[in-house]
């Protein structure tokens, strides 16, 4: 049995681990402090979107005086400090057996495995869950100028891997991430919040279903 792709580019938050929930908790704390309504539905719009763009989405409901860029940066820093406190408590126990075993299987089948995340905290999270040296390449919020749905983060990952976009599969929980993969010319597998999204090539009911998608019958 062959493999349909040469590489898989994984989103991190909400795909490899549940840091998407920590993003929610940290934004919720800030929104509550500012008296801004915020819930899981609004949070879904932040998936794949950069920190500052996420703040702008939250501030759509801000009724106070206009905020300066400096004030916005302060708010984003405050959210990130709260988020990092949650990340500090993470350990290899936050990596599920299913994700670990699936990654291992795909690797033994000769696939290159990379990360394509909008986060500037990606490397820290990976080291917290015991995957610090695991991926062949990491493209993250530190090497891009535009976050998803722009394809930049995935195109950079493909470039680091020395692969053509058509040889890569993207795994995403963000609709913006699925759109980014499409714009990069890559197939995508949607999981979690993006499950069933029509722009995705496949939908994954569980992470381990990746093995079937990647295997040529």
Contacting positions for Mg ion (CB under 5 A): 11, 13-14, 173-174
CB closer to Mg ion, 11 vs 179: 11
Among residues 11, 20, 140, 187, the one annotated as catalytic is 11
- Least spacing, CB of residue 216 vs Mg ion, in Å: 27
CB closer to ligand BG6, 47 vs 175: 47
Among residues 13, 20, 173, 179, the one annotated as catalytic is 13
Binder of residue 182, out of Mg ion, ligand BG6, none (CB less than 5 to 8 A by kind): none
- Least spacing, CB of residue 210 vs ligand BG6, in Å: 19
Token couple for 34: 């500012």
Token couple for 141: 């919020």
* Residues that bind ligand BG6 in the complex, under the rule CB under 6 A: 12-13, 23, 46-51, 54, 80, 117-121, 141, 174
CB closer to ligand BG6, 107 vs 120: 120
Q: Over the chain, what HEC string results? A: CCECCCEEEECCECCCECHHHHHHHHHHHHHHHHCCCCCHHHHHCCCCCCHHHHHHHHHHHCCCCCCCHHHHHHHHHHHHHHHHHHHHCCCHHHCCHHHHHHHHHHHHCCCEEEEECCCCCHHHHHHHCCCCCCCCEEECCCCCCCCCCCCHHHHHHHHHHCCCHHHEEEEECCHHHHHHHHHHCCEEEECHHHCCCCCCCEECCCHHHHHHHHECC
Judge whether 13 counts as a catalytic residue.
yes
- Least spacing, CB of residue 29 vs Mg ion, in Å: 20
Binder of residue 102, out of ligand BG6, Mg ion, none (CB less than 5 to 8 A by kind): none
- Least spacing, CB of residue 27 vs ligand BG6, in Å: 8
CB closer to ligand BG6, 28 vs 47: 47
Distance from C-alpha of 192 to C-alpha of 214, rounded to nearest angstrom: 19
Binder of residue 23, out of Mg ion, ligand BG6, none (CB less than 5 to 8 A by kind): ligand BG6
Which residues have a catalytic role annotated?
11, 13
């Amino acid at each position: 049995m062959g493999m349909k792709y040469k590489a898989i580019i994984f989103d991190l938050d909400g795909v490899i681990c549940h840091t998407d929930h920590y993003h929610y908790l940290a934004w919720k704390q800030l929104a509550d402090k500012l008296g801004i309504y915020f819930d899981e539905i609004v949070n879904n719009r932040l998936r794949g979107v950069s920190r500052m763009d996420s703040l702008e989405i939250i501030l759509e409901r801000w009724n106070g005086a206009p905020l300066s860029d400096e004030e916005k940066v302060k708010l984003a820093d405050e959210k990130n400090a709260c988020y990092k406190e949650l990340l500090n408590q993470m350990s290899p126990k936050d990596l599920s057996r299913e994700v670990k075993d699936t990654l291992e299987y795909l690797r033994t089948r000769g696939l290159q495995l990379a990360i394509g995340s909008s986060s500037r905290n990606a490397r820290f999270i990976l080291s917290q869950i015991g995957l610090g040296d695991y991926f062949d390449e990491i493209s993250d919020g530190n090497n891009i100028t535009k976050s998803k749905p722009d394809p930049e983060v995935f195109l950079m990952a493909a470039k680091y891997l020395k692969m053509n976009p058509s040889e890569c599969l993207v795994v995403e929980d963000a609709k913006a991430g699925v759109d980014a993969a499409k714009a990069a010319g890559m197939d995508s597998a949607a999981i979690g919040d993006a499950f069933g999204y029509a722009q995705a090539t496949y939908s994954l009911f569980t992470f381990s279903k990746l093995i079937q998608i990647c295997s040529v019958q």
